[in-house]
Amino acid sequence: MPGYVQNKNNKIMETNNQGNNNNSGWPLALDHGIAPDGTPQPYVSDDVAFESDNAEFSKKPQTQRPDVMDSFFTLSEQNKFTPRSILIDLEPSVVNKATSKLPMFNPRNIHLSETGSGAANNWQHGYVYGRNHEEEMMNLIDRELDKCDNPSAFQLMHSVAGGTGSGVGSLLLELLNDRYGSKKIVSTFSVFPSNDKTSDVVVQPYNTMLTLRRLIDFGDATFVFDNDSLNALGNAFIGSGLERNLSSSTAFESANKLIAYVAAGITNPLRFPSYMYSSYESIISTVVPTPELKFLSTSIAPYSNIPNVVPNQNYVSLNEYDIILELLNDKYKLNSYKEPLKYISVLDYVIGKNLNQKEIRRGILKAQQRLSFVPWTPSSISVVNGKQSAFTSQQEKRLSGIQVSNNTSIVHLLSKTVKQYDLLAKRAAYINFYTTSNDASERQEVLDAFEECKETVRQTIDEYKACSSDSYLGDDIIDEEMT
């Protein structure tokens, strides 16, 4: 399938296409030169930067596009790319904003509630709505899957604390697990609420707890983003001298840019394949060693090529060694926690042109010495040699870096949620938000269901705590022998 655009547009062109002038800011589309309405931009070769009538040049074989677009897009008969995404919400404003910026989204892949009032920050509303509309939503998913040759994974992007992302998201996790769980990876990009601003929605700890249980029971990997770290990271980028057009954007827009950048970056080797990490399975299995340890943290190196974030005059060029060390810096983490951590796995992406393998090796050796790993894994950092898109590359050598890691910082996030939940649950506060009547037995049923979720989360906390011990794998072997 990737051949389709090559035939039409794979000419060696004279222009230096930065692809960023009329852009949407969506890295996944920008990387492949897809305009907001889905129109493919001509591919610009890196090797020969001009077209020539000279017979010598025209005899040269045309460079093949190095990117694979069909993982995330389908090509219509009108030669337009359409994301495979499905957009679901219980109120229209967010989806309408997205589709007006990016008309490339397929209107048939959008599900909005008829009443359009949202789920009122209530997991229960979202979940029940999902139950009542599960057939419609699964039809959208199945129809999209039918268009795929060999789908390997789902990516669910949602917030865990409101009503829709948490409730509908939880239901979808159950449905996907039920129908496809054994065959396909179900991964999530889950936004956790700001700790500083919990007061705006008092029942966030309930919603988060109910969602966490589904992430633990039905997901294969969760990329954790917390809004406090996202805000801090935005500030760190500004503080370090990157100009960010914040005046015209909300705090969420900049947070979402960072999430979108990481989400796209993670799949760089799928979309620009080389000999390693060219499947989603290989990426996930590198960072998720057992189904019990599946919460992943990410970080972004400073001065990375984030769309709409341009380096100002203070920009200093970082080489591969610098990038790898910067990825260890707390201030560039999207789920930050400053206590000493134990690492279970680390996958570093260094993305750029003509990567210097010597500098990568030097950086990795240094970084490995700085990190503390759990005793039962090889204390090593895996590396993705990511390719820079010809559509987003700059004139000068500018490298980007992303780190995906599995580490014990999740203990802090989960424990914080349990603590906030306990404060509400011990007084059964606001439990009537989740019941249909004032009936005491129904209240108790709801509380019991909440407590089951808490128990699941507790087990994950315990698992992450236990994994730091020397005997972590040994305990399991003994358990198995005894049973």
Ligand X SMILES: Nc1nc2c(ncn2[C@@H]2O[C@H](COP(=O)(O)OP(=O)(O)OP(=O)(O)O)[C@@H](O)[C@H]2O)c(=O)[nH]1
Does position 255 interact with ligand X (CB under 6 A)? The reply is yes
| Least spacing, CB of residue 161 vs ligand X, in Å | 4
Does position 234 interact with ligand X (CB under 6 A)? The reply is no
| Least spacing, CB of residue 162 vs ligand X, in Å | 2
Nearest to 115, CA basis, from 148, 143, 98, 90 = 90
| Least spacing, CB of residue 287 vs ligand X, in Å | 22
Number of H-type helices and E-type strands within the chain: 17, 13
The pair of structure tokens assigned to 200 is 């705006």
| Least spacing, CB of residue 128 vs ligand X, in Å | 13
Does position 205 interact with ligand X (CB under 6 A)? The reply is no
Binding ligand X (rule: CB under 6 A), the pick from 120, 140, 371, 447 is: 120
Does position 284 interact with ligand X (CB under 6 A)? The reply is no
Name residues contacting ligand X, limited to 75-104 (CB under 6 A): 90
| Least spacing, CB of residue 250 vs ligand X, in Å | 8
Q: Which is nearer to ligand X, 121 or 155 (CB)?
A: 121
| Least spacing, CB of residue 308 vs ligand X, in Å | 16
Does position 249 interact with ligand X (CB under 6 A)? The reply is no
For 303, the 3-state DSSP assignment is coil
Site string for ligand X, 34-73 (x = CB under 6 A): ----------------------------------------
Question: Of the listed pieces 4-12, 116-124, 273-281, 454-462, which binds ligand X according to CB under 6 A?
Answer: 116-124
Q: Which is nearer to ligand X, 129 or 450 (CB)?
A: 129
Integer Cα distance of 400 and 381 in angstroms:
17
Question: Of the listed pieces 114-122, 272-280, 391-399, 402-410, which binds ligand X according to CB under 6 A?
Answer: 114-122
Site string for ligand X, 410-429 (x = CB under 6 A): --------------------
Beta carbons within 8 Å of 309's beta carbon, 6+ residues apart: 237, 242, 243, 244, 257
Pairing of strands 309-311, 73-75: unpaired
Beta carbons within 8 Å of 226's beta carbon, 6+ residues apart: 191, 192, 193, 194, 195, 334, 335, 336, 413
Contact by Cβ (8 Å): 87, 75? no
Q: Which residues pair with 298 in a beta bridge?
A: 404
Site string for ligand X, 133-172 (x = CB under 6 A): --------------------------x-xxxxx-------
10 Å CB burial of residue 68 (0-12, 13-18, 19+) is: middle
Cα 46 from chain centroid? 29
Integer Cα distance of 190 and 90 in angstroms:
18
Integer Cα distance of 223 and 190 in angstroms:
6
Integer Cα distance of 27 and 265 in angstroms:
8
Instruction: Tell me the number of residues near ligand X by CB under 6 A.
Output: 19
| Least spacing, CB of residue 169 vs ligand X, in Å | 8
Q: Assign 3-class secondary structure to 206-225.
A: HHHHHHHHHHHHHCCEEEEE
The pair of structure tokens assigned to 229 is 């770290």
Q: Which is nearer to ligand X, 335 or 409 (CB)?
A: 335
Pairing of strands 400-407, 295-300: antiparallel
Does position 327 interact with ligand X (CB under 6 A)? The reply is no
Binding ligand X (rule: CB under 6 A), the pick from 121, 254, 335, 345 is: 121
| Least spacing, CB of residue 159 vs ligand X, in Å | 3
Q: Minimal CB distance to ligand X: which residue?
A: 162
Query: Contact residues for ligand X (CB under 6 A)?
Result: 90, 118-121, 159, 161-165, 191, 193-194, 227, 230, 252, 255-256
